[in-house]
Chain A
Amino acid sequence: MTSRPLRALKVGGRLVVSVVLTVLGLLAVTFFIGRVIPVDPALAIAGDRAPEHVLQRVRQELGLDQPKAVQFVRYVQKALQGDFGRSVLTSNPVFDDIKRSFPATLELATCGILIGAGLGVPLGVWAAVRRGGFADHAVRVMGLVGYSVPIFWLGLMALVLFYTKLGWVSGPGRIDVAFEYSFERTTGLMLLDAARHAMNSGEWDAFRSAFSHLVLPASLLGYFSLAYISRMTRSFMLNELAAEYIVAARAKGLSEARIIWRHALRNAMVPLVTVIALSYAGLLEGSVLTETVFAWPGLGLYITNSLQNADMNAVLGGTIVVGTVFIGLNLLSDALYRLLDPRTRDTR
């Protein structure tokens, strides 16, 4: 028998080790893939026209003349000191680039998952309750469309309809050009910054603009994750509704609403939390296609563009962020598990 604090320490220690190992492994894989793709990173900096001696010098400056293992170790050493290097494409420190592009993605993904989970779970429940009925089919078709239609096409069509034809929402970009320099961007989360500006000045125009730019891409991402979440909810719910404790609850004479929401859903929530957390992580990685269509300067575009130019500092920096997000959300869903399901709590 060990004491409680000691055990907590052990668990915490194991956690840190596993996180560090995961991130290191992720970095190693990304680094070596990046270095074996047949693209010369010096080309991205110096360009096709550069004389040979300029290219050579650039390769040296990038440390490309060193063995790959040495390059990797150097990178990790610097990264540990908080120096992720400079992006060759943007000329900025990678840290600054990510600080700018990640909030754009975070804002979009968070609104997306709120819509996705907020609507997906009730729809899934509804479909399970009305299994085989109209509601079930309707939700299934909606989910299938959301899952199988290319998001690129869906995005363009949504723009044509809601932006060009109906004029309900603003178009691509995060905010109207008129507000581009009208307020301070402290957090990088446009809604938040605009809201703070609005509180101080009483001018809500910038906030409305930011909101109306966000609505469409967030709904689209939301729809996309809704499709998946509602299907999973339905299947988890069906499992629960067939269980014996539901029969017992009915026999006790509990109301149907109480049985569905308090008993069945509560148990279905346990696996559902993981599904939602992973969907969220997937959105946080940045949806390249959505970001392309909506000219949204997020993380997905940043990483993809960097990868195409073999801008490894930027790619690795982005990978660390995405990896950390995944690990973080995994840990969070584990913690929620414990909260939701008493059996997973350590009872010793």
Chain B
Amino acid sequence: MKKHFLSRRAFGQAGAATLLAGSLPLAFAATPKDTLVVASAFDDLISLDPAEAFEISAGELMGNGYERLLRYDVNDPTKLLPDLAKSWKVSDDGKTYSFELRPGLKFASGNPLGADDVVYSFHRAVLLDKTPAFILTQFGLTKEQVKARLKATGPLTLTLETDKVYAPTLVYNCLTANVASVVDSKLLQGKEKDGDFGAAWLKTNFAGSGPLKIREWRANEIVAMDRNDNFHGPKSKMARVIYRHVKESATQRLLLEKGDVDIARDLTPQDLAALASNKDIKLTSTPLGTVYYLSLNQKNPNLAKPEVREAFKWLVDYDAIGATLIKDIGVIHQNFLPMGLLGASKDKPYKLDVAKAKALLAKAGLPKGFKVTIDMRSIQPVQGITEAIQQTLKQAGIELEILPGDGKQTLTKYRARTHDIYIGQWGADYWDPHTNADTFARNTDNRDDAKNKPLAWRNAWDIPELTKKTDAAAIERDGAKRAKLYQEIQAEFRKSSPFVMLYQETDAAAYRSNVEGLKIGPTADTTYMFLVSKK
């Protein structure tokens, strides 16, 4: 067995070939000059139809691809800007809103855009009745009523009639939502099947007038948007914007460092911190309309005691969580209205105080504490926060058993209100305080088979008084008075609710230093890629 089983020459040749292959400069870094490349995890995307899409990733595409009557100002979210409408007003009785469109508008397809397209889009959204339709139907634009209450009064004018008087700010703010996007009625009528308003087609296609048009969506792979030259305003600086689906934060970071993407959207605090010292990379962040909270199911007799509810609020180490677990991705916030919304309160009365919590538990007849479970989604930072809270609860004798699960699993249980404690988040559905008040501080029917199941219902929190107050705030026509009402509701909520509010999420992005004009919006649909350019 002394002879060689493989000749030296063959070995040498194979080795040389390997070396040669390895040293060839195969990689080309840097993205094309006219193309903006974004690494983002968009596996939540299920539809490109503004009447149906309600996911975060979809929001950003809708914000760049579609126009509404109005937009809110990202620099001052309480201000409104014209989009398709050049003027708008509300009648003296507060029930009729009228709008006038800019002249000469066109869709990306080339079709003209007029009042009948706006009317078609609203009718369509209401009649299709997908998830976001409630944003429009809450003003009485029901399936039966929508055709009578929303009418074109001329080629460029239309009126909207509400079922009763609402705060005008609420109505306008709702009209800035994705579901109020205007779609190309002529194009969609050609794609219609069995009276579906072209819904099957629009799920994966585009019929808008915004500065960028959606060219293609390949699920879990790519979304490509091209400049829309028919757009009435300043044209997009980039000819093309490409979103690449990159699930893993570490991978996004590598791509960004190497210059194969211009922007990375889903980085963990660790990766953001690591990039902070890189001179080719810049960071930007904006507080979002999403708040994280812990909620106590009032069906659990221990958790239903007012003293126990309060004790929980004293048993969270807010400072430690803020300084470590949510650094760069959130700020401690103890109110259900995120900052940036009308009337949002900054008050932060709670801190970690075990002695106070113990006294409260003793008062509730539970001096030795008790055992309780929490349903938790196994993702960061939720997992870290839950473990931190488990430690601080223990100091007061409360034993928290963590039940980890996948997002959809914990949510299914939460929605059936069979949990003890749940940790989760809530993002504003549209840019108005009513969106969060409606779910946190309003519960019209606490029975198991209720028609509306807001967060207050999911935790079986029965609040007839607070519900009335929330309703009153929704119809207050005076902006300042309305803000004051929300301040009062938040104060009451901080004191007595079964919700331990934890923090407001910050959306951070990292980008190459040659990228200019990137600003993350407070809602997904206000991150405007058409304003971004590259040097």
B31-A168 in contact (CB<8A): no
Tell me whether B3 and A178 are in contact (CB under 8 A): no
Say yes or no: A164 contacts B258, CB within 8 Å.
yes
Q: Is A255 an interface residue (CB 8 A)?
A: yes
Residues of A within 8 A of B131 (CB): 46-47, 49-51, 54
Residue B32 interfacial (CB < 8 Å): yes
Of the candidates A40, A169, A177, A305, which one forms a contact with B27 in the assembled complex, judged by CB atoms under 8 Å apart? Answer: A169
Quick one: CB contact mask for B215-249 with A, threshold 8 Å, 1 for yes? Answer: 00011111010000000000000000010111110
Chain B residues, CB < 8 A from A256: 1-3, 5
Known: A88-B46, A256-B5. A295 touches B246 (CB 8 A): yes
Cβ A45 vs Cβ B452 within 8 A: no
| B132 on interface, CB distance cutoff 8 Å | yes
Give which listed residue, A89, A159, A160, A297, contacts B221 with CB less than 8 A: A297
Closest chain A residue to B47, Cβ basis:
A91
Which stretch from B81-89, B166-174, B393-401, B405-413 is at the chain A interface?
A: B405-413
- Of the 9-residue stretches A5-13, A209-217, A266-274, which lies at the interface with chain B? A209-217
| Interchain CB contact under 8 A, A168 and B251 | no
Q: Which residues of chain B come closer than 8 Å to A177, judged between CB atoms?
A: 31-32, 35, 37, 242, 244, 260
B196 in the interface (beta carbon within 8 A) = no
Whether the pair A54, B408 counts as a contact (CB closer than 8 A) is: no
Q: Which of B1-41 touch A at CB < 8 Å?
A: 1-6, 22-29, 31-32, 35, 37
Interface size class, chain A: 35 or more
How far apart are the CA atoms of A316 and B6 in the complex, in Å? 47
A-B contact count, CB below 8 Å?
172
Of A19-27, A70-78, A122-130, A322-330, the one contacting chain B is A122-130
Contact pick for B412, options A38, A173, A297, CB 8 Å? A38
Number of residues of chain B lying within 8 A (CB) of chain A: 62
A212 cross-chain contacts in B, Cβ below 8 A: 26-27
Contacts of A87 in B (CB 8 A): 219
A159 touches B254 (CB 8 A): yes
Report the bound CA distance from A278 to B353 in whole Å.
59
B130 at the interface (CB under 8 A from A): yes
B254 touches A47 (CB 8 A): no
Flag A125-167 by CB within 8 Å of B: 1 or 0 each: 1100100000000000000000000000000100110011001
| A238 on the B face (CB < 8 A) | no
Cα A178 to Cα B35 with chains together (Å): 8
**A214 to B: closest C-beta gap in Å:** 10
Say if the beta carbon of B43 comes within 8 Å of chain A. Answer: yes
| Interface: A221 (CB within 8 A) | no
> Could you say which residues of chain B place their CB within 8 Å of the CB of A255?
3
**Counting CB contacts under 8 A, is B54 at the interface?**
yes
- How far, in Å, is A89 (CB) from chain B's closest CB? 6
CB neighbours (8 Å) of B6 from chain A are 122, 126, 257
User: Counting CB contacts under 8 A, is B471 at the interface?
Assistant: no
Minimum CB–CB distance from A266 to chain B (whole Å) comes to 14
B452 touches A51 (CB 8 A): yes
Give 1 or 0 for each of A281-297: 1 = CB within 8 Å of chain B CB: 00000000000111101
A44 touches which of B46, B219, B452 (Cβ 8 Å): B46
B429 and A49: CB pair below 8 A? Answer: yes
Task: From B22, B132, B255, give the contact of A172 (CB < 8 A).
Answer: B255
Residues of A close to B408: CB separation below 8 A: 39-40, 43-44, 308-310
B453 part of interface (Cβ distance < 8 Å): yes
Q: Is there contact, CB below 8 Å, between A178 and B32?
A: yes
The complex places the Cα of A168 from the Cα of B29 at a distance, in Å, of 11
Q: Is the beta-carbon distance between A129 and B1 smaller than 8 angstroms?
A: yes
A128 to B98, CA, bound (A): 86
| Separation of A101 and B412 alpha carbons in the complex (Å) | 29
Distance from A142 Cβ to chain B, minimum over Cβ atoms (Å): 15
CB-contact partner of A91 in B46, B411, B453, under 8 A: B46
Residue pairs across A and B with Cβ atoms less than 8 A apart, 14 shown, are A45-B46, A47-B131, A49-B54, A90-B219, A91-B203, A101-B220, A129-B1, A167-B25, A171-B27, A176-B28, A177-B35, A260-B5, A292-B247, A295-B244
Given contacts A293-B250, A297-B245, 18 further A-B contacts (CB under 8 A): A38-B409, A54-B133, A87-B219, A89-B43, A90-B46, A90-B220, A97-B219, A125-B5, A156-B254, A168-B23, A169-B27, A172-B246, A177-B31, A177-B37, A212-B26, A257-B3, A257-B6, A295-B246
Binding site for A on B (CB under 8 A): 1-6, 22-29, 31-32, 35, 37, 43, 46-47, 54-55, 129-134, 203-204, 218-222, 224, 242, 244-248, 250-251, 254-255, 257-258, 260, 406-409, 411-413, 415, 429, 451-453
Chain A positions within 8 Å of B, measured between CB atoms, are: 37-40, 43-54, 57, 87-92, 97, 100-101, 122, 125-126, 129, 156, 159-160, 163-164, 167-173, 176-178, 180-181, 208-209, 211-212, 215, 255-257, 260-261, 292-295, 297, 301-302, 305, 308-310
